[in-house]
Amino acid sequence: MMGMAIGYGLGAHVEFRPRSYLEKYPVKNLQGGGTWGLQPGQWTDDTSMALCLAISLILKGDHDAYDQLVRYKWWWKRGYMSSTGQCFDIGNATSESLQNFISKQKAFGKTHKISYEQMDSLSAENSELFANE
């Protein structure tokens, strides 16, 4: 995890640059800037999502898809585990998947009389029920 965060911190300022740019301006140290105007050492969305997964695995002691998705949603909507405090980059497929998850949370909450605010901390029984609907 540490190596990944360092790698993304080193490469964030050249993300989306062509190989020819990298050959002319090789990465030699931590620099700021790039597409997202990050400060030196700030990581990208990839590290943020990996941190969300790692924390979920640690806290749950196993893979819990619901908890994992909740943490991705927090990253997207609140900047959870972001190096800047906000989600500054998210792919279309990821945002569509998370929007679908939020829609399902809202529908499930309405059906089972659970407020949207409580949906992020479902009991194991309710998260299993959610997964099976």
Greatest Cα-to-Cα distance within the chain, rounded to the nearest angstrom: 59
- Number of domains composing the chain: 1
Residue 26 belongs to some domain of the structure:
no
pTM: 0.88
Residue 113 belongs to some domain of the structure:
yes
Mark the binding-site residues, compressed into ranges: 44-46
Residue 133 belongs to some domain of the structure:
yes
Residue 25 belongs to some domain of the structure:
no
Three-class SS state of 66: helix
Domain that holds residue 105: 64-133
Q: What is the pLDDT of residues 29-62, one digit of tens each?
A: 888 888 889 999 899 999 999 999 999 999 999 9
pLDDT recorded at residue 132: 81
Q: For the chain, how big is the Rg over CA atoms in Å?
A: 18
**Which residues 6+ apart lie within 8 Å of 101 measured at CB?**
69, 73
130 burial via Cβ count (<10 Å: 0-12, 13-18, 19+):
buried
* Highest mean predicted confidence (pLDDT) among 5-9, 24-28, 91-95, 113-117: 91-95
Instruction: Look at residues 76, 79, 78 and name the one whose alpha carbon lies nearest to residue 101.
Output: 76
Is residue 124 pLDDT above 80, yes or no? no
Residue 126 belongs to some domain of the structure:
yes
Residue 83 belongs to some domain of the structure:
yes
Mean pLDDT value of segment 68-75? 98
Residue 98 belongs to some domain of the structure:
yes
Mark the binding-site residues for Mg(2+), compressed into ranges: 44-46
Residue 46 belongs to some domain of the structure:
no
Check: CB of residue 92 under 8 Å from CB of residue 60.
no
